[in-house]
């Protein structure tokens, strides 16, 4: 999944969409699915492998962006008798539709993950599945991996269990609507409990030293014939919803480590040099970071609606660059076995419609709960999965980076020669006249060249736009 999300809201068909189409061509992203894969998808949509248990009596709901139809997760939250909470979390059962070794499976291994462009996405699975038969759309009976996670009154996991079942979501919510219902007191208890459980899990995250980065999304809009680029800060409901996914990923990791076979999402502790660079960025953005305050404490104190804080949160994503996947068998756990930002063992298992590894993690957990060996097709793929996921992540990161360059160039292309207020947020160590500036309006982070003069790190600077040509030159500024 991308660290920096970008959305187009009402932008004109040209020139932005034309530039993005050209970008997809030059990056050689996967195009259409093979005829064999499409045929398998159509057949599987009509006749999936159905589980024996019917759990359609549980009134699930989903929370996703308003335009999303590839719905991986649905939840139902309730109080337990005697105290605590029960989380029912349904995850799309992609294995019910994808035959191991078939054309559809081969396509998924070639694509690895859904690629997100500001105007559209390049899906992991054909839309007949990802936006149809396998999606947890409201009113549709769908095979799922059904998690039941019991929590105590403080939100700590008491017991976790997963099994196959048919589920049916009742209600489809977006983040804004869910937040509004909760804030106004009109949410029914299963939704209202999202705040209670989410806040308890956030407190436990603080206790164990974990970190959630509330990185703002960048939105591109067209207003009166002009493109604008601005930040949208996450809502509290975004974070509470993410905590349910984190809870499930941690429960899955525990099941796999107990069984001795699995695949974990790992992240080593950031090296001192990376943290020192982040301290320089904080200083440059005038974000106060006392030496006695830890990185985790600082991040939790930031307001993503404040432009300087938003820019710094983007810089914080650099500490996630060492994340990867590590498979293990025979009970021999990898080193490290934890994800430093989660501060616990963790795995990806809640987005199988959009990420290849989640299908395998789900199968490993179902086998672990049943006390069985994993299916042979899962065991056979484990050794290669980390490398495949790393290749997919590199491609996704390239798409993310190039999309940002194109969008910024489109937004600014008619403003060559204009002056802007900026802050110098980075200066190259061996080239002090080259660095990076952050503009608050529009929301742009771009290159600056001072033609031999040293740039004033951390200082405000009036800058002039000298380049902004989508497809040929990235955005570049010089001191005014």
Do residues 157 and 59 touch, judged by C-beta distance below 8 A? no
Mean pLDDT of the chain: 90
Assess if residue 73 is contained within a domain. yes
Report if residue 260 sits inside a domain.
yes
Residues 172 and 256 in one domain: yes
- Measured CA to CA, the distance from residue 18 to residue 15 in angstroms comes to 5
Asked, for residue 285, whether it belongs to a domain, the answer is: no
Task: Quote the tokens at residue 141.
Answer: 């009976």
pLDDT reading at 327 higher than 90? yes
pLDDT of residue 126: 97
Measured CA to CA, the distance from residue 193 to residue 200 in angstroms comes to 11
Q: Is residue 297 part of a domain?
A: no
Residue 160's DSSP bridge partners are 149
Question: Between these two residues, 315 and 4, which has the higher pLDDT value?
Answer: 315
**Least confident among 11-25, 133-147, 205-219, 435-449:** 11-25
Mean pLDDT of 45-69: 95
Residues 431, 335, single domain; the answer is no
Closest of 403, 359, 231, 401 to residue 304, by C-alpha? 231
pLDDT, one tens digit per residue, over 212-267 is 888 887 776 666 666 677 777 889 999 999 999 999 999 999 999 999 999 999 99
Q: Do 107 and 190 lie in a common domain?
A: yes
> What pLDDT, on a 0 to 100 scale, did the predictor assign at position 156?
98
Residues 333 and 466 in one domain: no
| 3 band by pLDDT with thresholds 50, 70 and 90 | very low
Indicate whether 288 belongs to any domain.
no
Whether residues 406 and 461 share a domain: the answer is no
Which of 352, 382, 411 terminates a domain? The answer is 411
Q: How many C-beta atoms surround the C-beta of residue 271 within 10 A?
A: 11
N-terminal to C-terminal alpha carbon distance within the chain: 38
Round to whole Å and give the CA distance between 142 and 54. Answer: 10
Average pLDDT over residues 86-101: 98
pLDDT of 127 above 80 = yes
Same domain membership, residue 454 and residue 334 = no
Taking the model in full, what pTM does it have? 0.90
Higher pLDDT, 125 or 215: 125
In three-state secondary structure terms, 311 is helix
Same domain for 382 and 420, yes or no, is: no
Q: pLDDT class for 30, splitting at 50, 70, 90?
A: very high
Number of domains comprising the chain: 2
Name the residue with higher pLDDT: 192 or 313: 192
Residue 5's pLDDT band (cuts 50, 70, 90) = low
DSSP reduced 3-state for 466: strand
Note the helical H segments in 209-306: 236-259, 272-284, 295-301
Top pLDDT among 116 and 94 is at 94
Instruction: Write out the two tokens for 342.
Output: 């989660």
Mark 257-268 as b/e (b = at least 16 C-beta within 10 Å). Answer: bebebbbbbbbe
279 assigned to some structural domain: no
Choosing from 390, 411, 432, the residue where a domain stops is 411
In the predicted structure, residue 1 carries a pLDDT above the cut 50: no
Q: How far is CA 454 from the centre of its chain?
A: 37
The pLDDT of residue 221 is 66
ω into 442 cis (within 30 of 0): yes
Q: Are strands 157-173 and 141-151 parallel, antiparallel or unpaired?
A: antiparallel
Number of H helices, E strands in the chain: 13, 17
In a domain, 21, yes or no: yes
Per the structure, the complete domain to which residue 475 belongs is given by 416-479
Residue 151 lies in a domain: yes
What is the length of the chain? 480
- The pLDDT assigned to 443 comes to 77
Residues 6+ positions from 230 with CB-CB distance below 8 Å: 218, 219, 221, 441, 442, 443
Model confidence band, residue 4 (pLDDT cutoffs 50, 70, 90): very low
pLDDT in tens, 357-388: 999 999 999 999 999 999 999 999 999 999 99
Percent of the chain with pLDDT over 70: 95
403 and 422 in a common domain: no
Do residues 209 and 150 make contact, with C-beta atoms less than 8 angstroms apart? no
Question: CATH no. for residue 424?
Answer: 2.40.50.140
Q: What is the mean pLDDT of residues 144-162?
A: 98
- Are 334 and 259 found together in one domain? yes
Question: Whose CA is closest to 15, among 219, 230, 220, 232?
Answer: 220
The whole-number pLDDT of residue 233 equals 82
| Last residue within a domain, chosen from 411, 437, 464 | 411
Per-residue model confidence (pLDDT) at position 8: 58
Q: Over range 59-86, report the average pLDDT.
A: 96
Average pLDDT of span 343-350: 97
Same domain, 72 and 91: yes
- pLDDT at residue 224 in the model: 65
Mean of pLDDT values over 116-130: 92
Instruction: Note whether 452 and 359 are same-domain residues.
Output: no
- Residues 61, 142, single domain; the answer is yes
Determine the average pLDDT of the residues in 314-325: 86
User: H-type helices in 165-235, by residue range?
Assistant: 175-184, 189-208
Which residues make Cβ contacts (< 8 Å) with residue 341, sequence separation at least 6?
210, 211, 212, 213, 267, 319, 320
């Amino acid at each position: 999944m991308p660290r920096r999300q970008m959305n187009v809201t009402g932008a004109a068909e040209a020139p932005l969409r034309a530039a993005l189409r050209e970008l997809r061509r030059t990056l050689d992203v996967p195009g259409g699915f093979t005829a064999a894969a499409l045929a398998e998808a159509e057949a599987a949509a009509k006749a999936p492998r159905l589980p024996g248990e019917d759990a359609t009596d549980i009134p699930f709901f989903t929370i996703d962006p308003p335009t999303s139809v590839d719905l991986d997760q649905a939840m139902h939250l309730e109080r337990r008798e005697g105290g605590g909470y029960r989380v029912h979390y349904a995850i799309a059962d992609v294995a019910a539709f994808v035959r191991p070794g078939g054309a559809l499976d081969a396509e998924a291994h070639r694509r690895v993950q859904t690629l997100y462009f500001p105007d559209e996405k390049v899906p992991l699975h054909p839309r007949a599945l990802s936006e149809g038969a396998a999606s947890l759309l409201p009113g549709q009976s769908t095979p799922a991996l059904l998690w039941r996670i019991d929590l105590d009154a403080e939100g700590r996991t008491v017991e976790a269990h997963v099994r196959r079942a048919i589920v049916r979501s009742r209600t489809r919510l977006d983040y804004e609507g869910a937040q509004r219902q909760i804030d106004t007191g009109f949410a029914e208890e299963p939704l209202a409990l999202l705040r209670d459980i989410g806040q308890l899990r956030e407190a436990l995250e603080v206790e164990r030293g974990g970190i959630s980065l509330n990185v703002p999304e960048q939105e591109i809009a067209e207003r009166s014939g002009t493109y604008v680029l601005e930040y949208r800060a996450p809502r509290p409901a975004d974070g509470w919803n993410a905590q349910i996914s984190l809870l499930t990923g941690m429960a899955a990791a525990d099941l796999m480590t107990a069984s001795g076979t699995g695949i974990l999402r790992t992240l080593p502790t950031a090296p001192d040099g990376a943290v020192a660079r982040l301290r320089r960025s904080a200083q440059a953005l005038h974000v106060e970071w006392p030496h006695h305050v830890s990185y985790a404490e600082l991040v939790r104190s930031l307001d993503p609606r404040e432009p300087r804080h938003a820019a710094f949160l983007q810089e914080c994503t650099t500490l996630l660059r060492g994340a990867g996947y590590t498979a293990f068998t025979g009970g021999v756990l990898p080193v490290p076995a934890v994800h430093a930002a989660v501060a616990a063992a963790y795995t990806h298992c809640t987005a199988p419609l959009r990420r290849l590894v989640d299908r395998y993690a789900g199968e490993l957990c179902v086998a672990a709960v049943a006390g069985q060996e994993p299916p042979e097709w899962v065991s056979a793929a484990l050794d290669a999965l980390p490398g495949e996921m790393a290749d997919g992540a590199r491609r996704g990161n390239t798409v993310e980076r190039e999309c940002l360059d194109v969008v910024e160039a489109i937004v600014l292309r008619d403003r060559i020669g204009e002056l802007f207020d900026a802050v110098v947020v980075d200066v190259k160590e061996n080239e002090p006249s080259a660095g990076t500036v952050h503009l608050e309006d529009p929301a742009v982070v771009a290159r600056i060249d001072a033609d031999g003069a040293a740039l004033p790190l951390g200082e405000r600077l009036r800058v002039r736009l000298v380049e902004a040509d989508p497809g040929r030159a990235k955005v570049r500024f010089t001191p005014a």
